[in-house]
């Protein structure tokens, strides 16, 4: 299995125990005769001070988990114009908690209203009655529905890994006459899967780093990251990361994903994402020098697609927002936001 593809692979993830207060999953026979509310499985992340958790009900009846954190009151910098909201989209084996841990407190204290979403079948979001969580189209549609109903002004959309690919699909929808995708004030792609998907990543790993390819395949396709602390650290984090912290995040990852984000074969058949921007939307493309999943060429491909210069953050790994040097990436994004022109597309 390909390294990046594996994090959204079609393999069935282990089913987690459901809270006793949740109803049992309906059998196929019952589902045919009576529509029941989709299950939500708990992902045991304790919110920090100033954070709130709620559900966003989609038109299809599914609920998306939303972890929000508003700027402190009064604002830390009097006289500063109102900051645009930030909407965060996670990748595979993660959920809204991965942003709530470090970056939501950081950016909310800088004056930005922050919203982290858990995609379908991730975190505490509802589980659809399918073998996968959704498609690029359904995930972007869910994000659009949330922004349209709950975010009053055009936000900055920030996506990590496969969440970055979802953000790219959202951007492509802004170029046509798409009435269901609200405008953005900008977008940030963090260690993102490139627009063509992970095929190029796969072959480069196999040809140049076969041992690394085997490790990534074991870690993601076989989900060995869930049972091996060293492999989890090597896949997602820097070698300097404290083992106790890696173990905590490893346990949250194991609980986060009830279904794969995509049917990988169908996803690959739909790529690359459509031609993306006419230059009116500000886009920041970021990568990590110690990324074990997305290589330098993958970062460059994404940057070329949007005709921007990539930023490679030194000394951090794939999970930039959780890594021991998480402040490095956050500071670069904040500097970019401070210079962002007040326009939307």
33-43 per-position pLDDT tens digit: 333 456 665 66
- What SS3 state is found at 35? coil
Confidence of residue 18 (pLDDT cuts 50, 70, 90): very low
Confidence of residue 80 (pLDDT cuts 50, 70, 90): low
Which structural domain, as residue segments, surrounds residue 64? 51-197+259-340
> Does residue 100 form part of some domain?
yes
Would you tell me the crossing angle of helices 296-305 and 162-173 to the nearest 10 degrees? 10
> Does residue 68 form part of some domain?
yes
> Does residue 27 form part of some domain?
no
> Does residue 18 form part of some domain?
no
Least confident of 20-24, 38-42, 94-98, 181-185: 20-24
The DSSP symbol for 219 reads I
- What SS3 state is found at 44? coil
Give the percent of the chain with pLDDT over 90.
66
CATH number at residue 287: 3.40.50.1820
Tell me the C-alpha distance between 190 and 316, whole Å.
Answer: 12
pLDDT higher than threshold 60 for residue 125: yes
> Does residue 142 form part of some domain?
yes
Tell me the C-alpha distance between 261 and 8, whole Å.
Answer: 5
Confidence of residue 252 (pLDDT cuts 50, 70, 90): very high
pLDDT higher than threshold 70 for residue 188: yes
> Does residue 32 form part of some domain?
no
> Does residue 188 form part of some domain?
yes
Summary mean pLDDT of the chain: 83
* Between residues 125 and 275, the one the model is more confident about: 125
CB atoms within 10 A of CB 190: 28
pLDDT higher than threshold 60 for residue 22: no
Least confident of 59-73, 205-219, 222-236, 307-321: 205-219
- The answer to whether 104 and 55 have CB atoms below 8 angstroms apart is no
* Between residues 284 and 80, the one the model is more confident about: 284
CB under 8 Å to 200, separation ≥6 — which residues? Answer: 194, 297, 298, 301
Residue 180's pLDDT is what?
81
- What SS3 state is found at 225? helix
Angle at CA of residue 325, ends 319 and 331, nearest 5°: 95
Whether omega before 189 lies within 30 degrees of 0, making that bond cis, reads no
Confidence of residue 211 (pLDDT cuts 50, 70, 90): low
Confidence of residue 21 (pLDDT cuts 50, 70, 90): very low
Tell me the C-alpha distance between 15 and 9, whole Å.
Answer: 15
pLDDT higher than threshold 70 for residue 131: yes
- Range picked from 86-90, 217-221, 277-281 for highest mean pLDDT: 86-90
Residue 204's pLDDT is what?
67
Residue 88's pLDDT is what?
99
* Average pLDDT value for residue range 308-335: 98
pLDDT higher than threshold 50 for residue 290: yes
Confidence of residue 219 (pLDDT cuts 50, 70, 90): low
* Average pLDDT value for residue range 276-300: 90
* Total structural domains within the chain: 1
Residue 123's pLDDT is what?
96
> Does residue 44 form part of some domain?
no
pLDDT higher than threshold 50 for residue 190: yes
- The answer to whether 7 and 162 have CB atoms below 8 angstroms apart is yes
In the block, tokens 């989209």 appear at: 89
Residue 59's pLDDT is what?
97
pLDDT higher than threshold 70 for residue 133: yes
């Amino acid at each position: 299995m390909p390294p990046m593809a594996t994090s959204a692979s079609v393999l069935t993830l282990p089913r987690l125990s459901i809270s006793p207060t949740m109803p049992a999953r309906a059998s196929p026979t019952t589902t045919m005769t009576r529509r029941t509310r989709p299950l939500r499985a708990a992902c045991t992340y304790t919110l920090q001070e100033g954070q709130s958790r709620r559900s966003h009900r989609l038109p299809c009846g599914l609920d998306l988990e939303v972890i929000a954190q508003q700027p402190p009151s009064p604002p830390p910098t009097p006289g500063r114009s109102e900051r645009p909201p930030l909407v965060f989209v996670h990748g595979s084996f993660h959920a809204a908690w991965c942003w709530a841990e470090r970056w939501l407190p950081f950016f909310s204290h800088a004056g930005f209203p922050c919203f982290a979403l858990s995609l379908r079948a991730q975190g505490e979001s509802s589980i659809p009655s399918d073998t996968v969580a959704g498609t690029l189209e359904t995930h972007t549609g869910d994000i659009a529905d949330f922004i349209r109903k709950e975010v009053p002004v055009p936000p900055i959309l920030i996506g990590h890994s496969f969440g970055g690919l979802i953000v790219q699909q959202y951007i492509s929808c802004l170029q046509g006459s798409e009435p269901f995708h609200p405008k953005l004030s900008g977008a940030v792609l963090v260690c993102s899967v490139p627009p063509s998907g992970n095929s190029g990543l796969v072959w480069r790993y196999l040809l140049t780093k076969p041992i690394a390819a085997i490790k990534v395949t074991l870690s993601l396709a076989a989900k060995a990251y869930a049972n091996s602390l060293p492999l989890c650290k090597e896949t997602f984090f820097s070698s300097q990361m404290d083992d106790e912290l890696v173990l905590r995040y490893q346990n949250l990852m194991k609980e986060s994903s009830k279904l794969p984000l995509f049917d990988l074969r169908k996803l690959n058949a739909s790529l690359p994402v459509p031609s993306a921007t006419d230059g009116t939307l500000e886009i920041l493309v970021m990568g990590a020098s110690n990324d074990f999943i997305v290589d330098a060429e993958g970062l460059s491909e994404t940057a070329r697609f949007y005709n921007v210069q990539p930023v490679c953050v030194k000394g951090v790994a794939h999970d930039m927002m959780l890594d021991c040097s998480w402040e490095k990436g956050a500071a670069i994004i904040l500097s970019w936001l401070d210079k962002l022109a007040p326009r939307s597309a």
